[in-house]
Amino acid sequence: MKTFLAQLIFLSLWITGVNLHAQETKVWKVGVLASGTQAQNAARDEALRQGLRALGYEEGKNLSFESKYAEGKLDRLSPMARELVDHKVDLILVGGTQVAVAAKGATNTIPIVVAGAGDLVEAGLIRSYMFPGGNVTGVARMSADFFGARLKLVKELLPKATVVAGLINPKNRGHEQSRRDVELGAQAQGMTFRTVTAATPGELNSAVVSASKSGAHALFIMTDALFNSHVTQLAQTSLKEKLPAFDERSEFVDAGGLVSYGVNLPEISRRAAEYIDKIFKGAKPGDLTLVQSMKFDLAINLKTASQIGVPVPNEVLQRAVKVIK
């Protein structure tokens, strides 16, 4: 009897040890889906890794990544999302509404964490920011107030501006609501709002030229995966047309654009790591309230400002976190 009890105890301890070992050696697989190139996403990828390291996840020990970069070819997003699902990732991290839509189209069960996106309710991905439901949660990045702040910048730099053109992608489901928000914001600043559209890379140049020829005093570039993947093209075309252009990403200013004002994307990726940690510890994405980034960075290209004849007031310059001379 004693021998039998000893064997039972030994077996119980052995099973417990196996389970503990399995828990300790669990390697979580994170799928990353991005609309741009790996180089464009490098700062965000590193911020995500830093955020996860701070929470106890280390690549090669209990964490691995499978990353897919569409390189500006948005028709690749859906098949790439399905590849991640087929490879049985534990979670998919996405940046941007269109990327989130592609991921959601591939799975209703694998958790999807958004690291910056537009109106996810409008896109049909969540029920509400407080109670998202489903398998999507994360960090949002914009609101009507954000558009208002960007339009205020237009007026600060171009006090005589009366017409602003918005660059919109007709394929972007969230742009209709954004257009209404920007139109109201423009009216509040005493400006008329018009739109020009581009749905493919080949239509970008003609859209910018159309805005310039229509008499617009500024180009307001809406947030969109297509536009984000072609910031250099948009920056150079607006510079050639001497049309003051305002974008969300600082890469736009690096490429010769006049002004960018938007959320700090690496910081959003770092915050997204907190959602990943909660989900890996058992939380359901649908129960995790989305938060909105409150940190916005201003960047200005003074060389471009000089070339197109836009004086930059000192009070605006002092608020910039990046100035290119």
Domains and CATH numbers, the chain: 26-142+264-296 (3.40.50.2300), 144-262+297-324 (3.40.50.2300)
pLDDT for res 8: 54
**Long-range CB contact pairs, 240-244, < 8 A, 24+:** 241/208, 241/209, 241/211, 241/212, 242/212, 242/307, 242/308, 242/309, 243/208, 243/211, 243/212, 243/216, 243/218, 243/219, 243/308, 244/154, 244/157, 244/158, 244/217, 244/218, 244/219, 244/308, 244/310
Q: What is the pLDDT of residue 295?
A: 77
Low-confidence stretches of the chain (pLDDT beneath 50): 20-22
The label of the residue with tokens 């938007």 reads: 262
Mention every residue, 6+ apart, whose C-beta is less than 8 A from residue 277: 52, 55, 56, 57
Supply the pLDDT for residue 294. Answer: 72
- How do beta strands 296-301 and 322-324 pair? parallel
* Residue range 17-53, pLDDT digits in tens: 555 444 567 999 999 999 989 988 999 999 999 999 9
Quote the pLDDT of residue 24. 60
> Do the Cβ atoms of 168 and 175 come closer than 8 Å?
yes
Beta sheet of 322-324, edge-to-edge order:
192-197, 163-168, 218-221, 245-247, 259-263, 296-301, 322-324
As a whole number of angstroms, the distance between CA 95 and CA 90 comes to: 17
**What is residue 30's predicted lDDT score, i.e. its pLDDT?**
98
> Residue 145: what pLDDT?
65
pLDDT value, residue 118: 77
CA 113/CA 147 separation, integer angstroms: 24
Residue 318's pLDDT is what?
95
pTM of the model: 0.80
